[in-house]
Amino acid sequence: MPTPFPRLPREAFDQKAFIANLGEGDLLATCKNAIEQCTQYLYRQYRAGADAGLLIRQRAVFMDQLLGGLWDIQEWTSDDLALVAVGGYGRGELHPHSDIDILLLLSDDCDEATGQIEAFLTRLWDIGLDIGHSVRTVEQCVDNAREDITILTNLMEARVLRGPESLMQEVRELTGPKNMWPSAEFFRAKLAEQRDRHHKFADTEYNLEPNVKSSPGGLRDLQIIGWIAERHFGVESLERLTTEAFLNADEMQVLRDGREFMWKVRFALHMVTGREEDRLLFDHQRELARIWGFEDDEKLAVEKFMQVYYRWAQALGMLNEVLIQNFDQAFLTAAGDHDVLELNGRFQMRNGYIEARNDNVFKIDPSAILEVFLLSARNDAINGIAAPTIRLLRNSLHLIDDNFRASEINKRMFIDLLRSPYKLTRQLKRMVRYGVMGRYIPAFGQIIGQMQHDLFHVYTVDAHTLEVIENMRRFQIPEFAEQFPVTSRVTCRLPKIELLYLAGLFHDIGKGRGGDHSELGAVDARIFCQQHGLSKRETNLVAWLVKNHLTMSAVSQRRDISDPEVILQFAQHVGDQDRLDYLFALTVADINGTNPTLWNAWRGSLLRQLYTETKRALRRGLENPVDKQVWIDETRDAAIDLLEYRGFTLEELEDIWQQRGEDYFLREKAEDIAWHTEAVAGHHDKTKPLVVVRSSIDSSVANTTQIFIHARSSAQLFPCICAQLEQLNLSVHDARIYNANDGMTLDTFSVLDSDGSSIAEDGARLNYIREHLTEALSDYSSASDPVQRRTPRVMKSFSVPTETSMSVDEIKNFSVLEIAAPDRPGLLARIGRIFVDFDIELQAAKIQTLGERVEDVFFITDSRQQPITDPETCAAIQQAIREELDEQAAA
> pLDDT (tens digit, 9 = 90+) per residue, 256-272?
999 999 999 999 999 99
- Given the DSSP bridges, would you call strands 803-809 and 849-850 parallel, antiparallel or unpaired? unpaired
Beta strands in 700-831 (DSSP E): 705-712, 730-739, 744-753, 803-809, 814-822
Half-sphere exposure of 472 (CA within 13 A, CB side): 32
> Alpha-carbon dihedral of residues 90, 92, 96, 100, nearest 10 degrees?
20
User: 669, 696 in Cβ contact below 8 A?
Assistant: no
Lowest mean pLDDT among 3-12, 311-320, 406-415, 821-830: 3-12
Residues 406, 401: Cα–Cα separation, whole Å: 9
CB atoms within 10 A of CB 870: 10
CATH T-level fold of 339-422: Hydrophobic Seed Protein (1.10.110)
CATH 3.60.120.10 fits 15-178, yes or no: no
User: 56, 264 in Cβ contact below 8 A?
Assistant: no
Residue 388 has pLDDT above 70, yes or no: yes
Q: How many residues does the chain have?
A: 891
Q: How confident is the model at residue 813 (pLDDT cuts 50, 70, 90)?
A: confident
How buried is 669 (Cβ within 10 angstroms: 0-12 exposed, 13-18 middle, 19+ buried)?
A: middle
Residue 66 has pLDDT above 90, yes or no: yes
The whole-chain average pLDDT of the chain stands at 88
Q: How confident is the model at residue 815 (pLDDT cuts 50, 70, 90)?
A: very high
User: 723, 786 in Cβ contact below 8 A?
Assistant: yes
CA nearest neighbour of 848 among 698, 710, 682, 732: 732
- Angle at Cα 165 formed by Cα 163 and Cα 171, nearest 5°? 115
User: 750, 695 in Cβ contact below 8 A?
Assistant: no
Residue 468 has pLDDT above 70, yes or no: yes
Residues 760, 230: Cα–Cα separation, whole Å: 54
CB atoms within 10 A of CB 533: 12
CATH number of 184-332: 1.20.120.330
User: 694, 766 in Cβ contact below 8 A?
Assistant: yes
More confident residue, 273 or 843: 273
CATH number of 441-616: 1.10.3210
The SS3 call for residue 709 is strand
Q: Residues with Cβ < 8 Å from 63, sequence gap 6 or more?
A: 89, 94, 100
Q: What is residue 29's predicted lDDT score, i.e. its pLDDT?
A: 87
The DSSP symbol for 211 reads: B
Residues 146, 176: Cα–Cα separation, whole Å: 10
What is the tens place of the pLDDT at every residue in 769-800?
999 999 988 876 555 565 555 555 555 555 67
> What is the C-alpha radius of gyration for the chain, rounded to an integer number of angstroms?
34
Residue type, 480: F
What is the tens place of the pLDDT at every residue in 361-379?
999 999 999 999 999 999 9
Residue 238 has pLDDT above 50, yes or no: yes
What is the tens place of the pLDDT at every residue in 601-658?
778 888 999 999 999 999 999 888 878 888 899 999 999 999 998 899 999 999 989 8
Distance of CA 235 to the CA centre of its chain: 38
CA nearest neighbour of 752 among 542, 528, 597: 597
CA nearest neighbour of 226 among 215, 235, 217, 218: 235
Residues 674, 670: Cα–Cα separation, whole Å: 6
Residues 243, 234: Cα–Cα separation, whole Å: 12
Residue 5 has pLDDT above 80, yes or no: no
Q: What is residue 788's predicted lDDT score, i.e. its pLDDT?
A: 56
More confident residue, 459 or 555: 555
User: 157, 175 in Cβ contact below 8 A?
Assistant: no
Q: Residues with Cβ < 8 Å from 696, sequence gap 6 or more?
A: 702, 703, 704, 705, 706, 750
Q: Residues with Cβ < 8 Å from 647, sequence gap 6 or more?
A: none
* Cα dihedral 11, 12, 17, 20 sign: negative
Residue 186 has pLDDT above 70, yes or no: yes
Q: How confident is the model at residue 503 (pLDDT cuts 50, 70, 90)?
A: very high
What is the tens place of the pLDDT at every residue in 859-888?
899 988 899 999 999 999 999 999 988 876
Q: Residues with Cβ < 8 Å from 707, sequence gap 6 or more?
A: 691, 692, 693, 725, 748, 749, 750, 751, 769, 773
What is the tens place of the pLDDT at every residue in 259-318?
999 999 999 999 999 999 999 998 899 999 999 999 998 888 999 999 999 999 999 999
Angle between helices 601-620 and 551-558 (to 10 degrees): 100
What is the tens place of the pLDDT at every residue in 70-112?
999 888 888 889 999 999 999 999 999 999 999 999 987 766 6
Q: Which helix (H) or strand (E) holds 842?
A: strand 841-846
Residues 368, 399: Cα–Cα separation, whole Å: 11
The SS3 call for residue 730 is strand
Distances (CA, A) of 43 to 54, 261, 487, 789: 12, 16, 56, 38
- DSSP string for 612-658: HHHHHHHHH-TTSPPPHHHHHHHHHHHHHHHHHHTT--HHHHHHHHT
Residues 736, 716: Cα–Cα separation, whole Å: 16
Q: What is residue 74's predicted lDDT score, i.e. its pLDDT?
A: 87
